[in-house]
Chain A
Amino acid sequence: MSNEKTESLFITDADLAALASDLIAAGTRVVAPVPSGDDEGRTHYRALSSADRFALDGPLPCGSLKEFFLPPTEVLLRWRRDQGKVEVDPAPPDAPATVILGAAPCDVAGPPVVDRVMDWDFRDEPWFARREATVVIARACPGRDASCFCTAVGLSPSSTRGADIMLSPTGESGGGHAVRVLTDKGADLVKRHRARFGAARGAAGAERLAAEAESRVAGNLDIDPRAVRSWLAANFDHPLWRRLADRCHGCGACAAVCPACHCFDIVDEPDGTDHGARRRNWDMCQFSLFTLHGSGHNPRQTQSARIRQRVMHKFSIYPERFGEILCTGCGRCARACPGGMDLPEILRELQRLAGGKSTAGGA
């Protein structure tokens, strides 16, 4: 980003909660990790109704931030039919002023990666309307668990990519975060709420925690993405794909929770006999219907072809077209998979096949 500026500040936990309250009171949608209250201790990114509900130290939320830029379902236009004539009303994108608070760097990095395809041959206006209406306050991550692999895809638990403001825990007993203001949008938010921020402190503690988190995650997986990409381009028919399909159920859980997956389906749904809506819904490449042609032909007939597509799109096709990996290493696909598919494990295998050695993680 050309408008990168770095101003350093500090915010206490009480001021952070107060900042959220101020924003909500001003009519801003504030999205933050919220405990679901279930026995498993899950969290979700939710629009807060009051500032007392968010919790920054839980597990990675079930879903990524994607739904706040590409909702699971949205109306593109409404239509009405009257005596053979069809009237069409485009629906303006719903893009409320939003502040995302305390999101993990792997989630925050997702939208900038997806921006590339959303502004490729066609500019996706609803996507960019929401991107522009949103200020992102990221929070450095301690490294959640053994499924994390952000460091293997060029990020880290303290990456600032996609963030307007970065919060870093400093390790002080009283809590609080070191604050770095990274963009004009971030500077504008800080200016409007200046009283909530104090003079910079705790940088050394924040750096130490970041270094610890980075080495923890780096121990999970170590690959050379270029070697993996070359191998993928040359091994379309490798027996590996067949083997990977064995335990796959062919559901879309991996794509649903992915910060970078962005495929969608468009459907016309009638509301009664003479009017209805055209909607855009998330779609998932592991469904056989995803590629089923009207003719009955399906170019991806088997689950192994669909798994190959998912891996190749992320680590070969997208890098080839846009120069970056379509994966932020959050590990959600691995955590969510009901069949026990594990992307870090698959990448480790690809690295091995590509001839390099991946010593980190695994058995």
Chain B
Amino acid sequence: MCLAIPARIVELEGDRAVVDTMGNQFKAKTTLLPHTKLGDIVLVHAGFAIQVIEEEEAKKTWQLIAEIDEFSDTQNRVSG
């Protein structure tokens, strides 16, 4: 459960942000990263941004997640 997911900050008001990861948007807080800005890509864990990362790095993770989703989709199809 220590996994953090990369997401882009698409709205920011005080420490309340809306972030986007692969088209899914959800709320997150930036309390632990006081200097983040709109447009930054952050690692989000349990509703909190914990680190800013480069887009390149985020893309690698997003790609991995997409592969896993496809993988479990195929598995579901096979078993279902």
Physical interaction between A and B: no
Interface residues of A (CB under 8 A from B): none
